[in-house]
Amino acid sequence: MLGNDLELAVKFGLTIKNMAKLVNPPKETQAELVAWDIDEVQTFLEVAKDSHLYMLYLIAINTV
């Protein structure tokens, strides 16, 4: 990590201060998971029926 590298730089006298310690890391946010309803799944599969990935989509939808 950058903070660890900067600590080594301070230790070896390559820099005066580890500037990474002065920064507040961003807060982690989790996006809300929105699942498709049955009508949306059916619409998707109807549109994707001619795709070479159709079977992959079908398997993925049925294994979640």
Torsion angle in degrees (nearest 10) through CA of 42, 44, 50, 56:
-90
pTM of the model: 0.52
CA distances from 63 to 17, 57, 58 (A): 51, 10, 9
pLDDT of residue 1: 79
pLDDT of residue 52: 97
- Chain segment 3-61, per-residue pLDDT in tens: 899 999 999 999 999 988 898 988 999 999 999 999 999 999 999 999 999 999 999 99
Let me know: does 47 contact 36? Beta carbons within 8 Å. no
